Chains A and B, each alone.
Chain A
Amino acid sequence: MDFRFDIIIEYSPYLVKGTLLTIGLSLAGILIGTILGLFIGLGKIQRRKLLTWPFVWYITFFRGTPLFVQILLIHFGVIPMLIGETNGIVATIVALSLNAAAYIAEIFRAGIQSIDRGQMEAARSLGMTHVQAMRYVILPQAFKRMIPPLGNEFIVLIKESSLAAIVATPEIMYWGRAMAGQYYRVWEPYLTAAVIYLILTLSLSFLLNLLERRLKTE
């Protein structure tokens, strides 16, 4: 079997651009998804049960339907409705963020609920408001426990950004498919894409491990 390095080299400028876009899409998804996820998670655990319903349904929808379908809906439906034209990059960021937020909300909820009730009681007994107790006592501890599952979610998000290729967002897989289409080759484009994704996800887990070790208190 011959392996044509020349076509990888020919496509390397595009793959570099695609990689940068993948990183950009992922970072945007992680950032927006985390902020959104925090609010949805807090919304779901609030005491007034009636107000939790929108958050419960949000999570049910975005966790219960394929990201593939969500991207198509957002790209061809939601975004044109809002700005009058399609835009692959915006649609991808929106879809990734909304989808990740549903999972991250559950991670936040589990993290917050895993903190012993006594912590909230101790904080409140000292005169702190509920918000202060959350801000200074509960969330810092919950955040530490959330790093491993959050890391998982971020890695999933990087990989799932590859679905953006189907709405012609020029990230890694878009160029991989272009290469495959032009030369009728299988191994070169897809193995190259796989290696790039692997480097991205390994770098992220390395950074998260570093953070986790940093936050240890013993």
Chain B
Amino acid sequence: MIKVANLQKSFGSHKVLNGINVEVQPQEVVVVIGPSGSGKSTFLRCINLLETITDGHVLIEDIDITDKGSDINKVREEVGMVFQHFNLFPHKTVLENIMLAPRKVRGVPEQQARAKGMELLKKVGLEDKAEAYPDSLSGGQKQRVAIARALAMEPKIMLFDEPTSALDPEMVGEVLEVIKQLAREGMTMVVVTHEMGFAREVGDRVIFMDGGLVVEENKPDEIFENPQHERTKAFLSKVL
């Protein structure tokens, strides 16, 4: 479903990604862990071309997004993204945040978009906040709205970029619960996170990145119980 081949990314002369090769199967949940500065967020942002790609290829359902001729907007419609800092639209109500893209990008009629929006808000447990503005919500609530907003486009893939890193500890659970729910429903997901418990519980596969490379990837139990590389061991000994 996602195929990343020899992905390289430089910011000026600083090389952040040194040739990443990853494949993600349909309905698979891939969790990316690693120290800060390892390039895991950059890797994720390359998957929907929020970063320009220096070299290599990224294929989403066999469409090569590094090819200048491919319509990146069409691809992004199928790839939802949730950000560390939520990035809700502060000038719109919660429901309007969710309805905006379906209305403007897909041309969904108002009534239908509204019904879908309310359904998604119910799913994330926030139907009573439909008319509220984002500024009045807690961090956990904001992130749940952001997930609902991404789901409104009915994406085939969801990308999560450290979705709980900006949250107060007591709000992490409610957001992870929503993501777990999605995993159970069979959503294909790539999740960058520092929540090791979550990685172990929800991930079908865990990728450990360091220095712009995939150092190790394996089933969660394997990687946490029996890491093969020194760098993986060093990292896990610090965070577990």
Is there an interface contact between B135 and A217, defined as CB atoms closer than 8 Å?
yes
A78 CB contacts on chain B under 8 angstroms: none
Q: Could you tell me if B83 and A140 are in contact, using CB atoms closer than 8 angstroms?
A: no
| Chain A CB within 8 A of B238 CB | no
Instruction: List which B83-102 residues lie within 8 A (CB) of chain A.
Output: 83, 85, 87-91, 100-101
Task: Output the least CB separation between A143 and chain B (Å).
Answer: 9
List, in ascending order, chain B residues with CB within 8 A of A118's CB. Answer: 83, 85, 87
Indicate if the CB atoms of B101 and A127 lie closer than 8 Å.
Answer: yes
Chain B proximity of A116: nearest CB distance (Å): 7
Q: Which of A52-60, A129-137, A203-211 contacts B (4 or more CB under 8 A)?
A: A129-137
| Residues in A neighbouring B77, C-beta threshold 8 A | 126-127
Of the candidates B79, B91, B101, the one whose C-beta lies within 8 Å of that of A128 is B101
Q: Does A152 contact B (CB under 8 A)?
A: no
Contact, CB under 8 Å: B89 / A122: yes
| A10 beta carbon closer than 8 Å to chain B | no
Q: Restricting to A99-138, which residues have a CB under 8 Å from any CB of B?
A: 116, 118-119, 121-129, 132, 136-137
Residues of A near B146 (CB, < 8 A) are: 122
Interface residues of B in 120-176 (CB under 8 A from A): 133, 135-136, 146, 149-150, 153
- Contacting A119 at CB < 8 Å: which of B81, B89, B101? B89
Asked whether, in the complex, the Cβ of B135 is within 8 Å of the Cβ of A218, the reply is yes
- A125 near B48 (CB under 8 angstroms)? yes
B226 located at the interface, meaning its Cβ lies under 8 Å from any Cβ of chain A in the complex: no
The complex places the Cα of A140 from the Cα of B97 at a distance, in Å, of: 13
Give the residue among B79, B89, B136 with the most A Cβ atoms within 10 A: B89
Please give me the residue from chain B that is nearest to A129 by CB atom. B73
Contact of A126 among B74, B85, B90, B149 (CB under 8 A): B149
Contact A125 B104 (CB under 8 A): no
- A121 and B104 within 8 A (CB): no
| Chain B residue contacts of A137, Cβ below 8 A | 89, 100
Interface residue A17 (Cβ < 8 Å from any Cβ of B): no
Q: Footprint of B on A, CB under 8 Å? A: 116, 118-119, 121-129, 132, 136-137, 140-141, 144, 217-218
Query: Would you mind naming 27 contact pairs between A and B with Cβ atoms under 8 Å apart?
Result: A119-B87, A119-B89, A121-B87, A122-B83, A122-B89, A123-B89, A123-B101, A124-B50, A124-B73, A125-B50, A125-B76, A126-B77, A126-B150, A126-B153, A127-B74, A127-B76, A127-B101, A127-B105, A127-B106, A128-B73, A128-B101, A129-B73, A136-B100, A137-B89, A137-B100, A140-B91, A218-B135
